[in-house]
Each structure stands twice: as C-alpha cells, then as structure tokens.
Amino acid sequence: MQLHHRELGEGNPLVILHGLFGTSDNWQTLAKRWAETHRVIVVDLRNHGRSPQTAEHSYELMSQDVLALFDQLQLQHVTLLGHSMGGKVAMRFALDHPARLDRVVILDIAPRLSDMQHQDDILAGLHAVDLASVQSRQQADEALAQHIPQVGVRQFLLKNLYRREDNSFAWRPNLAALTTHMPAIGAEITGPTPFLKPALFVRGGKSNYVTTEDKLYGIPALFPNSQVETIVDAGHWLHAEEPDQIYTLVEAFATS
C-alpha cells in the first residue's frame, strides 16, 4: 500500500493524517504555514483521496500503511498529527511504533470506543447522490441536503466529489468499504504499553468527542506524558474553524 502524499518545506518531519471523509487537500493552508519550519507531509489514508482503495479498513492496517510511508520516505524525529479517524490512526501508530516518533498530536478524538451512529445521516446523504445522473455540484448538494441540513458539513463532503475523464461525477472515498467497516472506524484504541513520549490532545469546546472522563482517565492511561488543550469556540472540525489557534498550539508543541 503506497499512500498518496504531498511534501512541503524542510526540517524535522510533521506528518498529517485527515479524518473520516477528509483528504490531504483539507490541510493545505495550515501545511504551508508549518512548512516554514518543518518538512510537512500531508497524507491521504487508504480508501480516501487519491490513495488506493481496498475492501479492508482497520486501524491495524492503516498503522501499517503509515509505517510503510515512513520507511519509504526514511522519516526520523517525526511529529505525527491526526484528526478524528486520523487521530486514532496516529494513536495506534504511536502505540505500535513508539521509536519512530518524537511526539504525537491528536485533534478532537479520544482512544475510547466511538458510537458511529452519528454518521448514519452522512452515509445516507452520500448514497443518495445518484452519480449516474447528477449533472452539477448543486444537484449533488440538493441530494445531500435531504439527509444533511448543515451547510458546512455538505461543503466539506462535496470536496470529495470530482469529475472523471468522461465528465461523470464520482466520490473519492470508497463508500462501500467505509460503510461496511464503520463499526471498526469507531473501535477503541488499546495497547499493552503506553506511549511515554510527549502527546498533545486538542479538543473543541463545542464538540463532545473528547469528554472530561477521557481527559482525566482514558487519555492518560495510554499517553501518560500528555496534555489536553481546549479551543473553546471550536467544534469537531477545529482546524477549519480556528486555524490560527491550531497553528500556534501545534507549532509550539512540535518545536519544544
């Protein structure tokens, strides 16, 4: 599995993993800012973006994919950053391969089991778009809106819609695999040995993905050398809602 990725800048590596239904494209603006001080690698995880599509989708496999990328690029002294699903990949990788990292940054996700029922409407909306007949992004948006009232969420999802060479539309994510493996995407991250190096967890004050119990018990159990920061006015997509605060927090942590 060779993951699609892009590189910017020079210095110690900062590897960025997007969340469910995201792509490396979502991180280009922040990546350019961090590239002033780091070698930034933005990654498309399997079944997303321009990376290969497979029938299987699990954190064990995605951790192996990231390890192959680290070997391919000969990465050392890495800061690994992940948001949501990408955050769980980063946690899995940190527990599996602690020697390959200097530190880890996790955005708005905890290691515990996640109830993925909140994704039902998103999946219904994506499957409601008739790719064989849709003629415009506006038509696709109207189909999504039957299940997803939030304009911002629809705009985020529509970034995954692209035109093929025959001018028909297609989704970049592998919807069949992601739908099948949605319970696995919510799986708890565990490990026999904690990750002892520095870890920064950042949660959105308007999000419920990281609870007080996670902060006090779940996160320290696996990441004892961790700190949890809250961006008060941000929701789950905190890097899109408050990019300046995310830039500052990550830059300070990655250069400490």
Catalytic residue among 51, 84, 114, 226: 84
**Candidate list 18, 38, 57, 236, residue with the active-site label:** 236
CA angle 128, 88, 217 (to 5 degrees): 125
Name 85's Cβ contacts closer than 8 Å, sequence gap at least 6.
18, 19, 20, 45, 109, 185
Nearest-angstrom CA–CA distance, 37 and 54: 35
Respond yes or no: is residue 84 known to be catalytic. Answer: yes
Q: Where are the beta strands (DSSP E) in the chain?
A: 5-8, 13-17, 39-43, 78-83, 101-107, 161-163, 169-171, 199-204, 226-231
Look at residue 207 and give its three-state secondary structure. Answer: coil
- DSSP label at 209? S
- CB count, 10 Å around CB of 73? 15
**CB-based contacts of 20, cutoff 8 Å, min separation 6:** 84, 85, 119, 178, 185
Residue 40, amino acid: V
DSSP code string of 99-161: GGEEEEEEES--SS---GGGGHHHHHHHHHS-TTT--SHHHHHHHHHTT---HHHHHHHHTTE
Residues recognised as catalytic: 84, 236
